A and B are shown apart, each in its own frame.
Chain A
C-alpha cells in the first residue's frame, strides 16, 4: 500500500526531471543533421522560400544544459576571440544585436558555424561534433534574448560587461546586417 503511494509520489518528481533531458553520448563527429534552410526571404513566384526543419533546434534552445554547454564552448572554440567575450563583436559581427546577415534561426546559425561564411567566418565542420554545433547555435540565440529566459545562462564566469543572457531584452531578429565588402568596393 505505502509502496504504491510512494510510486505515485514519484511520478510527478520523475516528470519534473523530463525538463532536462540530456544525451550523454555525443553524436559521432561525422554525422550531421539535415536541415533545409534558405538565406533570403525571396523566392521566384512571390512565395516564401522552401524550407524544412526537423524541430531538433527547439530541443536545444529550450534546454538549460545545452545552453550552458554552448556558453562554455563559445569560449573553448575561440568564438569569443572573434565576436568578443560578451558577443558585442570584434573581427566578426555582434551576436547580441538584432541584425543578422546569414539568418537568425537556429538552423541558419548551425549552417553558419558548420559551413563558415565568406568574409572571415571559419567553417567548423569536422572540428566540432554536430551536437556541440547545435549547443553553440542555441547559445548564440540566447545572446540576443531569443531563447526562453528560464533556460538561458544566468551568470558569467568572467568580466560582467552587461546583464546575463537570462536577463537580456529580446531583440527580434532583422535580416540584413552589415554591407558586405563586395558591395562597398568599386568594381
Chain B
C-alpha cells in the first residue's frame, strides 16, 4: 500500500513536471507575425486582412471576455443590394469604407458624426453582363486603402482608384473581359507603390493571371499568367522551387494536353500577403479547368498552388502545388498567414495556410518547403501529404470517373475550407478558422469549351459530413499541430474571422448570428442576430471617441448561400454546383439581406 502510494506520487510529480515543460515549450514557441508585415496597432483597419501578414488581429482590448456580453448596435447601414456580402468594412482617418456586391457601389461613412452619415458614394457602373459569368454570386471581397485613395475591383473586371476624401475617381483600368468569362471579386493588395490584383473565372476556362498596376496611374507594371510557357508565367533565373516536381522548362505547357493550358484556370481570386523583409509577394492559384480531371491529364501547373514572387518584377521565386492534377475544384487561393516561429528548434519564417484539400500547411516562406501538413477535416479522398516530395496522396477509390457517380468524397468541391479568411491571435498562437464539414458525390461528364459559358464537366451534390453538422469554427494550435478547440455549426461557416487582444474572437453564421467567443476556450460569450445570414469579414477599429468598435456586413449569398441569394430551387440537388443539396434548409432560416452592423460597449 505504502509503496504504491509513493509510486503514485512520483507519477503525479512527473506528470506535473511534464505539463510544466509542455507549457513552457508552448509559451516560447508561440509564433509571431514579422514586425515589418504587421506594424503596431494604430486603431485603424486599412486592408481586409488587417496587415501584410494577414493576421486579422487587432491589439485593441477594450472589448474583453468579461464585458463583451454588453455589446450594442452603434449604427447600421443598408448596402442597397440583397446579395452575398463577402466584403470587409475598412476604416481610415475616421471614415469607414464599404463596397457592395454588384453594382459595386463604394460608400464612405463619416464616423465623427452621430449615426455615421454617408459622406459620399462612388458608382463604377459595371456592365450587367458580368452577372452571367460570376460563378458564385455577385460578391466583392473588399476595398483597400493606400496614400489617400481607396482601391477595389469591380465584377466586370475593372480596377478603380477613388479619392478617399471626395469620392472622385482617380483612375480606372480595365483588366478582365467578361465575354471570355473573366470577372474580378478579390480584394487588391497595395504594396511598394503597386496594386496587385487577379482574375476570377476558373469555372469558365479563363487563363488565370495576377497583375501589378502603378498605384498612381493604374498603368500595368507586369502581368504573370499561371499557365503556359515560362516567359508568360514570369519564371526565369530567380525561380528556385523546393520540390523536383516543380523544376523543368515550360511546365505550364508540358503538364497539360496540347493547348489545354489556354483554358486552364489558375485564377487569382483569393488572398495575397507580402513580406517586406524578404521582398516577396505570396499569392495562390485557383483550380484548373475544366473540373473534369480526365480531360486534362498531367499536373496542370501552375494551378492549385502558391507562388512567391518579386513584387517589383513579378518574377517567380518559388512555387508549391497543394493539389497537383486537381480532381475536385480545390483552388489554392486561401489566406497566407505570415509568421515567424521556432520549428523543431530552428527559427523559421513560415507561411501558414489552411487549405481547401483539408490540410493545414506550414511552409517555409523563404524556400517553399512544407514543414507540416496536418488534416483538420474528415478525409476520404486523400490520406496525407508526403513531406519528402510535397505530394498530396490520393485515395484511388475516390478518383472521379466519366459517367459514374463516385460517392462520399470528403471534403467537397468548396473544400474543407474555402476563401473565408481565418485570424491569428498573437496572444494565443492559435489560428481561428471558419470552415466546413461536408462530403459529396461526384460524376465527371464531358465538358465543352465555349468561351463565355461554364467549362466544368462535373455534376455533384454535397451533404453534411460525419456528425451531421455542415460547418465548424476551429482554433488550431499552430506550434502543437493540432486542434485546440472546435465549435460545431449547423451550416458551413462562410464568414471571415477576427481575433483581438481582448481574447475575444468574432465570426458569423449563415443563420445570421454574429458571435463572440473566448479565444482560449471557444466558450460563447455573446451573440447577436442580424437580419440575414453572415458571410462577410468582421473588422474592428478605435472610433473618434477613443472606444473600440466591431463591424460586420450581414447578407447571405456566395456559393454557399446561392440558394437564398439566387432564389434557387431546392428540389434540385445539383443546383449551385451541388451546394444546394447540402443547404436546402437555409431558406427556412434566413432571407436575403445587405446590412452593415457596427457594435460598441454601452
Residues of A within 8 A of B (CB): 75-78, 80-82, 84-94, 96-97, 99, 118-122, 127, 157-159, 161-162, 178-179, 181, 184-186
Contact = CB atoms under 8 A, between A and B. Distances in A.
Interface stretch (B126-134, B160-168, B419-427): B126-134
A186 B80 contact: yes
B184 to A, nearest CB: 16
Contact of B574 (A86, A119, A127, A185): A86
A78 B204 CA distance: 10
21 contacts: A75-B445, A78-B455, A81-B453, A84-B568, A84-B580, A88-B580, A89-B569, A90-B577, A91-B566, A94-B567, A97-B569, A119-B131, A119-B132, A120-B129, A127-B450, A158-B459, A159-B460, A159-B573, A178-B566, A181-B128, A181-B131
Given A159-B460, A185-B81, A88 B575 contact: yes
B81 to A, nearest CB: 5
A187 to B, nearest CB: 9
Given A84-B576, A94-B569, A122 B131 contact: no
Contact of B135 (A91, A97, A178, A185): A91
Nearest to B577: A90
B102 A181 contact: yes
A88 B568 contact: yes
Interface in B110-155: 121, 128-135, 138
B499 to A, nearest CB: 33
A161 to B, nearest CB: 4
A123 to B, nearest CB: 10
B134 A184 contact: no
A122 B131 CA distance: 11
Interface string B568-602: 11111111110011000000000000000000000
Contacts of A158: 403, 443, 445, 459
Contacts of A97: 569
Contacts of B129: 118, 120
A78 B83 CA distance: 24
Contact of A81 (B455, B567, B569): B455
Contacts of A75: 445
A119 B132 CA distance: 6
Given A89-B566, A90-B568, A92-B132, 13 more contacts: A77-B450, A84-B572, A85-B574, A88-B573, A90-B562, A90-B575, A90-B576, A90-B577, A119-B132, A122-B132, A161-B461, A161-B581, A162-B571
Interface string B535-572: 00000000000000000000000000010001111111
A42 B443 CA distance: 45
A84 B575 contact: yes
Contact of B132 (A85, A121, A161): A121
Range for the number of chain B residues in contact with chain A: 35 or more
B454 interface: yes
A122 B454 CA distance: 12
Contacts of B132: 82, 91-92, 119-122
A142 B571 CA distance: 15
**Most chain A CB inside 10 Å of its own CB: which residue of B568, B574, B576, B581:** B574
A91 B133 contact: yes
A181 B456 contact: no
Nearest to A83: B575
B389 interface: no
Contacts of A94: 567-569, 572, 575
Nearest to A94: B569
A88 B570 contact: yes
B103 interface: yes
B216 to A, nearest CB: 30
A45 B476 CA distance: 68
Contacts of B574: 84-86, 88, 159, 161
Given A120-B131, A122-B452, A87 B80 contact: no
A169 to B, nearest CB: 10
Given A97-B569, A161-B574, A185 B105 contact: yes
A101 B170 CA distance: 38
B483 interface: no
A21 B571 CA distance: 33
Given A94-B567, A158-B443, A181-B81, A88 B131 contact: no
B299 interface: no
Nearest to A87: B572
B459 A178 contact: no
A90 B448 CA distance: 18
B82 interface: yes
B364 interface: no
Contacts of A162: 571-573
A121 B128 CA distance: 10
Nearest to B101: A181
A38 to B, nearest CB: 22
B441 interface: yes
B215 to A, nearest CB: 29
Contacts of A120: 128-134
A89 B572 contact: yes
A164 to B, nearest CB: 13
